[in-house]
Amino acid sequence: MGNACRCQQYTSENMELISGRSENVNKKGESITIPQQNGTTVSKKTTHKQNDDDGDEDQQVQEVQQIELKRGDKKKQAKINAVSDTVEIFENVKKLDKRKSPFDYQLMLNAFNEHFIFKSVPQSDIEYVVDQMFYCTVPDGQFVFKQGDMASSYFLIERGQCQIIINGELKKTLKSGDAFGELAMLYNAPRSASVKAIGDCAFWAIDRNTFRKVVEQQNQRSYEENREFMKKVEFFSFLTEEQRDAISSVLITSVFKKGEIIVSEGDVANSFYIIKKGKVAIIKGDKEVSQMNAGESFGEAALYQSCQRAATVKAAEEEVRCLSLSKDDIQRILGQKIQTVKYINTQKWALQQSPLLGKLTSIQIEKILQNIRQVHYEKNEMIIKSGQPCTKVYIILEGEIATMPSKKLVLGKGKIFGEQFLKSQGQDNKVTETIQVQTDESIIAEFEIKMFFDMIGGSVEQMIQKNENSHEQKYLNRTNVYQKKDYSNLKLDNLICIKKLGQGQFGNVYLVRTAQDEKLYALKCISKAQIVEQHLERHLAQEKQVLSTINFPFLMQFYKSMKDQNYIYFLVEFIKGMELFDAIREIGLLTTSDSQFYIGSLLICVEYLHKLQIIYRDIKPENIMVDEKGYLRMIDMGTAKFLNQKSIRTYTIIGTPHYMAPEIITGKGYTFSVDLWSIGVCLYEFMCGGVPYAEDADDPYEIYEEIQKKSITFPTFMKDKKAKKFIEQLLSKTPEARLGGGYASLKANTWFDKFDWDKLMDKELKPPFLPKKSRMIQEKDIQSAVIHNKLASKEINFNRCTLQKGKSKRLKLGFKLLIQSFKYTNKLLKLTWFFVLLHIFEFYILKSKVKQRINFALIQNSSS
């Protein structure tokens, strides 16, 4: 849907990209603007140095100049589109049956294990992939594939040598044991080099679809089994659903035979074990002290502290299966020590269950959690003495407290004391009895009542009333925000074509309106034949389902679908404005407040989508419009899909390389956190001028390798420490760390201090930028088109017929030249021409058969 709503008119005059703000000029001697953390700007002459202390600032000014020039020249990035599930080998190889020898098997394992793309794929999955590899050969002097050919397979040389040739130039020679074509495992794209066999060559190979299916099936099966099993283990009961999802993806399954030692007494403890199948014996010294069965666990202490194993654990049955979780993995996923996470979850749960504090917004609760502290109390220790004022609210995390001496009130884990004094705003808050600890040790979370009132900025009653109108209640807790108009009676013949907006992957996009009203629409035309040829029926139905579901002020609106003999049509909202890609080139480097406005808008979009179980997968400035009022609108749902609760992970390699999260590339599966990575890339681009990884690279392989291997760095002029920390969180290589405690936690991040989320949702904030009216479609152009009354259906068919006539003329000319050449060729060449003609006819016969399949079920359903 990339062109569906882009309203800027691309002409030779306005295609130039302005690389700075209006006062920024990139000529020597004129001013350049450096955005500051507080949202202001500092302007400095680039030709004058006042003194030596200005050296650093001059260097920063020059750096900004270079970045803005570079950003102005940058082209839009091509995305990786969805591919079909049909298995097709494009390469010039001959398949043969051959049994894998132990040497072959090890050769294949080594090739996978040594490559960065496959580093994170579990060994058991790699072994299963190796089992699926096929044997093939290519004769001496033949090309395995040529530069520009479509890619489908990954090859490991078993015998012979191969030359890598780029643009006719020999770049490298590969030998036995070397591999090539690994990007074919990720997506279908033209080969960037030719590979030629030197001598008769033999290969072990695997095609992309087989590889992806094998890894996906293995990962999904393991994930679902682990997730189901975790529900039965008491140890994980304090975790949230999201935290359990994350942990289930890193649990490692190990198999032990009877008598085999799982852990040894005295060893350093660094992993926690859950018995999935079988029985284990617990041994201290030489004596068996007990046994444990499936569903039980051991080694919990390893996750809390550094310690040694207190006993030896052995497998007590013929086959014992255990799930293991390391301390490093759980801290990497949860972001903190497990005990801290346990207490934070208890605090959050207690606040949400409170009759009064439960009326706070999720952002307010996160801000309380940021200001809470945990205190250890001994038995009989007084927390508040009788007659003293209660200045804090207390949440019991461990142990028990009571009012003394009456013990009329006894509070245990997860209970709150002190919230009753919030209604009196700190007045008349003296306790009538002493509050005392009852257990050997208690851990209590505390926060100041004064801090609470500072945060809410008024009385409790005012807070409750205000929160009823918060953006969480009005928008994010509802799936339907707009009252949708009924478009069921609108027909294709009712639409007047204003102009062609652009060309999408499967057809043109037109600006249209009805004869009855002045409302403008974008009409996306999708060629049925192309969808069938590329086997993307399911993909189209998925896009239609997403479009039909979403209903949110910051997302493009979908009205209806239609169809005729040749096309499926999506009628969507026409967004008058310009792409964010162009807007940030007019703005220049964004200030903190500018960036907060745009990143905040993106966050509420993905929060809404993720609540509907929709993953977007291609967030980038080109897919975001700045409307005529300056607010962002996300468009192009072509890469979005639903993730159901059973299979919360997906495996398709899709998106734009510079904005793709590392886990998309590895093939282990990914989930909603990839959208947060893309937002992190956008934030870096807004404030630093370029993307964080492989800024100067176009080759997807180079981009992927840098994303996988390099750490993030910032330019010297980037001074906003809070922004840096927030970017580092969003660009964490650990997917689970990006979201932290949830969207409320992201929105309560210190970088967003004083940012008004409710005003953003109500569109009451002043936007950083308004698109120029000269860049948008003019009313006179609309009226001119209306006067001509050119129906959209006729314009679409006219364009289609013109294209077909052009193809037909080129085909007739080609046949004419071929037939004429027969007069001047010998018998061998005539025979060759005969076979060429035969293949051309076969191709067109096949194409006509494909067109006969256009009335397939999914297309019919998607347009109903």
Indicate the annotated binding residues for ATP.
501-509, 524
Q: Encoding tokens for residue 679?
A: 């937002």
Closest by CA position to 724, among listed 713, 739, 740, 708 = 713
Q: Are 153 and 212 in contact (CB under 8 A)?
A: no
- Long-range contacts, stretch 759-765, CB < 8 angstroms, 24+ apart: 760/471, 760/597, 760/600, 760/601, 760/604, 761/471, 761/474, 761/475, 761/553, 761/604, 762/471, 763/553, 763/629, 763/631, 765/597
**Tokens 């049994």 belong to which residue?**
99
Copy the structure tokens of residue 9. 């008119």
Q: What are the start-end ranges of the E strands in 327-422? A: 373-378, 382-384, 392-398, 401-404, 410-411, 416-417
Output the CA–CA distances (angstroms, integers) from residue 373 to 86, 393, 400, 433, 750, in the order listed: 57, 11, 18, 24, 18
The CA dihedral of 610, 613, 617, 622, to the nearest 10 degrees, is -60
CB of 236 closer than 8 Å to CB of 247: yes
Residue 745 C-beta-side C-alpha neighbours within 13 Å: 14
What 3-state DSSP class applies to 572? strand
- Evaluate the omega torsion of the peptide bond into residue 553 and state whether it is cis, within 30 degrees of 0: no
Tell me which residues are annotated as active site: 618
For strand 268-269 and strand 312-315, is the pairing parallel, antiparallel, or unpaired? unpaired
Q: Is 430 helix (H, G, I), strand (E, B) or coil?
A: strand
Residue 567 C-beta-side C-alpha neighbours within 13 Å: 21
Spatial separation of the C-alpha atoms in residues 541 and 480, rounded to whole Å:
21
Counting Cα atoms < 13 Å in the Cβ hemisphere of 524 gives: 28
Tell me which DSSP letter residue 517 carries: S
Binding site as annotated, residues: 501-509, 524
Q: And the tokens for 76? A: 């839009």
Closest CA to 615 of 588, 642, 594, 595: 642
- Give the C-alpha separation, 522 to 549, whole Å: 18
Q: What residues contact residue 108 under an 8 Å CB cut-off, 6+ apart? A: 100, 130, 133, 156, 204
Query: Crossing angle for the helix pair 792-821 and 827-851, nearest 10 degrees?
Result: 160
Separation between Cα atoms, residue 749 and residue 730, nearest integer Å: 12
